């Protein structure tokens, strides 16, 4: 409740105002707030939040038109106030733009996306996230090498031992335009390594943006977000209505995502059973969104990548299985589990 109030615009709070606008508050709540001399605050929102709210409002309007007999869906008072405030501020800036001298940004040289820089950045990221140094062994170096060379688009990527070029007699076609499907034993570093690169790319992009690096687009292109498939299912099951499900599907069908521990998630239940990851993978294929996956071997067939991929077909259907080889470079991580 107080979080909501703290997001309001500066204005003195009165008991009458609270009773009228927040009828869910108890008399004790109202007495505590007014006696403390707190103030309302409707903080300004940014461009992304503004466009999100506009899209949300439009979707609600379409829903209300399509289902006129259902409960009407509307933005909250706070969301409407945020839209109005943003539009007021934007109008003010636009009207005064010509009267102000434009800022001239001096761009500077930044950290280049090279093999050496990514390797040292990875080592720093690894220690930052895990609290200890990366242990270099012949197996871990080969696992790291293929990922690093992929991200810098080193032609030597195609020669990496861990990159599958043929499976079940079928010749594959590795490409930098494809994403990554990383398969291996439990706990042998798949998620750990990919999380380090996620952290490194997002960290350097943030600095590039703040410091005005000339090569900011290089780091922007590398950015991605990693999310556990189990978390995605939990998020989907908490969605309250079809409109929110539409937003969910749109979010996960765009940008670059790494879906961690694919195949192990349950079938989602939200007013019916839904194979959420199957839907997401199909939408990402249709939109040609670059995707990364981490996946364990089939429990009954350890170290057998072919059986692990067949398990994808069983879980998500032949439609997805047939597209796996179009969407992904297949990477096989070597080594046993590092977990105790």
Residue 37 pLDDT: 42
Residue 42 pLDDT: 47
Q: Is 330 exposed, middle or buried (0-12, 13-18, 19+ CB in 10 A)?
A: buried
Residue 4 pLDDT: 41
Residue 327 pLDDT: 96
State how far the Cα of 162 lies from the Cα of 146, in Å rounded to an integer.
7
Residue 277 pLDDT: 96
Token output for 231: 């978390």
* C-alpha 249, offset from chain centre: 12
pLDDT in tens, the chain (340 residues): 443 444 343 344 566 665 666 565 566 655 655 554 444 444 567 777 888 888 888 888 877 887 788 788 888 888 888 888 888 877 766 666 555 555 677 888 999 999 999 999 999 999 999 999 999 999 999 999 999 999 999 999 999 999 999 998 889 999 999 999 999 998 889 999 999 999 999 999 999 999 999 999 999 999 999 999 999 999 999 999 999 999 999 999 999 999 999 999 999 998 889 999 999 999 999 999 999 999 999 989 988 999 999 999 999 999 999 999 999 999 999 876 655 4
Residue 77 pLDDT: 86
Token output for 239: 């969605």
Residue 248 pLDDT: 94
Residue 122 pLDDT: 97
Q: Is 123 exposed, middle or buried (0-12, 13-18, 19+ CB in 10 A)?
A: middle
Residue 45 pLDDT: 77
Residue 329 pLDDT: 97
Domain boundaries 115-332, CATH class: alpha beta
Q: How many other CB atoms are there within 10 angstroms of residue 219's CB atom?
A: 22
Nearest to 304 by CA among 165, 163, 183: 183
Task: Return the beta strands (E) in 199-272 as ranges.
Answer: 225-228, 257-260, 268-269
Residue carrying structure tokens 């470079």: 329
Residue 110 pLDDT: 92
In three-state secondary structure terms, 184 is strand
Task: Return the beta strands (E) in the chain as ranges.
Answer: 8-12, 39-42, 166-167, 170-171, 179-184, 225-228, 257-260, 268-269, 273-274, 291-296, 328-332
State how far the Cα of 112 lies from the Cα of 42, in Å rounded to an integer.
41
**Contact predicate 292/257, CB 8 Å:** yes
pTM score, whole prediction: 0.70
Residue 34 pLDDT: 56
Query: How many contiguous H segments (helices) and E segments (strands) does the chain have?
Result: 14, 11
């Amino acid at each position: 409740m107080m979080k909501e109030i703290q997001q309001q615009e500066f204005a003195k709070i009165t008991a009458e105002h609270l009773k009228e606008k927040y009828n869910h508050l108890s008399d004790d709540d109202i007495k505590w707030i007014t006696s403390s001399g707190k103030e309302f605050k409707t903080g300004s929102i940014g461009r992304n939040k503004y466009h999100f709210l506009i899209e949300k409002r439009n979707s609600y309007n379409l829903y209300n038109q399509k289902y006129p007999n259902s409960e009407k869906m509307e933005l909250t008072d706070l969301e409407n106030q945020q839209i109005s405030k943003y539009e007021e501020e934007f109008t003010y800036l636009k009207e005064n733009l010509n009267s102000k001298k434009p800022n001239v940004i001096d761009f500077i040289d930044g950290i280049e996306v090279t093999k050496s820089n990514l390797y040292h950045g990875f080592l720093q990221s690894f220690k930052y996230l895990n609290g200890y140094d990366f242990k270099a062994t012949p197996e871990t170096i080969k696992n790291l090498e293929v990922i690093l060379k992929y991200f810098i688009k080193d032609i030597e990527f195609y020669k990496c031992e861990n990159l599958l070029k043929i499976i079940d007699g079928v010749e594959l076609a590795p490409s930098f335009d494809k994403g990554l499907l990383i398969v291996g034993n439990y706990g042998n570093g798949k998620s750990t390594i990919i999380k380090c690169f996620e952290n490194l790319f997002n960290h350097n992009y943030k600095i590039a943006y703040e410091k005005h690096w000339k090569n900011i687009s290089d780091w922007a292109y590398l950015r991605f977000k990693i999310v556990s498939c189990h978390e995605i299912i939990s998020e989907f099951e908490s969605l309250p209505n079809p409109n929110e499900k539409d937003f969910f599907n749109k979010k996960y069908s765009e940008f670059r995502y790494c879906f961690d521990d694919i195949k192990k998630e349950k079938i989602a239940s939200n007013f019916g059973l839904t194979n959420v990851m199957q839907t997401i993978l199909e939408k990402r294929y249709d939109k040609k969104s670059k995707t990364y996956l981490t996946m364990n071997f089939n429990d009954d067939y350890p170290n057998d990548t072919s059986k692990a991929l067949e398990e994808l077909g069983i879980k998500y259907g032949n439609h997805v299985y047939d597209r796996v080889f179009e969407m992904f470079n297949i990477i096989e991580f070597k080594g046993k589990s590092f977990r105790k």
